[in-house]
């Protein structure tokens, strides 16, 4: 069975790498409150583990405050413990069924560390995009070798793969620049 070359599939896979990058970057603490910061927190509730968003409503009432409205009164302490144990360096204050989490100002050194982490994430995304490009080029070479496509078709298709690769790498760079600005903003 000969492999099929599918440009749309390559684009989809490259978009997936960028989506993963955006998700990773959303989890970086920038000194500004973001629901994405606490969404991955896992709460041990009702005999199982579940994401915070399944036991509470997360909102941002102020730029440096996250509010977590726990639906079930009996779960407040479990949610508070999960947030404290999450290695995010956050300490919630309990007010009834609402947990208020102040996001502390970031110092210059911490901001620089976060920028390094953001660069690492974006490099991983670039590598993922290049892996997809390599897969596409490999399929084209195999099709050429099996005489399923002509040399001209292979060159043209390889050019298309390179074009979408460049576009996605550029998008990764733009996402990184935006996140860097957000992190360094005082």
Same domain, yes or no: 14 and 48: no
Q: Domain residues for 93?
A: 35-102
Q: In what order do the strands lie in the sheet with 56-62?
A: 56-62, 65-70, 98-102, 93-95
Helix axes 7-26, 151-184, angle to 10 degrees: 10
Choose one of 76, 102, 128: the last residue of a domain: 102
In a domain, 2, yes or no: no
Instruction: Please compute the mean of the pLDDT values over residues 82-90 and round it to a whole number.
Output: 81
Residues 22 and 111 in one domain: yes
Q: Are residues 17 and 86 part of one domain? A: no
Question: What pLDDT band is residue 186 in, cutting at 50, 70 and 90?
Answer: low
Indicate whether 76 and 124 sit together in one domain.
no
CATH number of the domain bearing residue 114: 1.10.132.20
For 79-90, letters b (16+ CB in 10 Å) and e give bbebbeebebeb
DSSP codes of every residue in 32-91: S--HHHHTT-EEEETTEEEEGGGTEEEEEEETTEEEEEESSGGGHHHHHHHHHTTSS---
CATH of the domain at 42: 3.30.1360.40
Q: Residue 166 — very low, low, confident or very high, per pLDDT cuts 50/70/90?
A: very high
Residue 114 and residue 93 share a domain: no
H or E segment and range at residue 171: helix 151-184
pTM, full prediction: 0.68
Residue 184 clears pLDDT 50, i.e. is over it: yes
Q: Quick one: 98 and 111 in the same domain?
A: no
State pLDDT tens for residues 119-159. Answer: 999 999 999 999 999 999 999 999 999 998 999 999 999 99
Instruction: Mark whether 97 and 62 lie in a shared domain.
Output: yes
pLDDT tens digits for 10-57?
Answer: 999 999 999 999 988 887 766 777 887 888 788 988 888 898 888 999
What tokens were used for 99? 């947990």
> Does residue 89 share a domain with residue 57?
yes
Cβ-contact 74, 81 below 8 angstroms: no
Tell which wins on pLDDT, 44 or 185: 44
């Amino acid at each position: 069975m000969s492999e099929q070359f599918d440009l749309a599939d390559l684009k989809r896979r490259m978009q997936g790498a960028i989506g993963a990058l955006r998700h990773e970057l959303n989890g970086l603490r920038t000194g500004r409150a973001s629901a994405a910061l606490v969404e991955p927190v896992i709460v041990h509730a009702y005999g199982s583990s579940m994401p915070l968003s399944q036991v509470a409503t997360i909102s941002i009432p102020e730029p440096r405050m996250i509010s977590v409205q726990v639906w079930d009164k009996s779960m407040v302490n479990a949610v508070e413990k999960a947030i404290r144990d999450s290695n995010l360096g956050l300490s919630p204050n309990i007010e009834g069924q609402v947990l208020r989490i102040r996001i502390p100002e970031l110092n210059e050194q911490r901001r620089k560390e976060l920028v390094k982490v953001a660069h690492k994430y974006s490099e991983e995304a670039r590598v993922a995009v290049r892996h997809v490009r390599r897969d596409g080029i490999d399929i084209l070479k195999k099709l050429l070798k099996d005489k399923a496509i002509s040399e001209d078709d292979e060159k043209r298709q390889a050019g298309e793969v390179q074009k979408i690769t460049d576009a996605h790498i550029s998008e990764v760079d733009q996402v990184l620049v935006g996140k860097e600005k957000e992190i360094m903003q005082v």
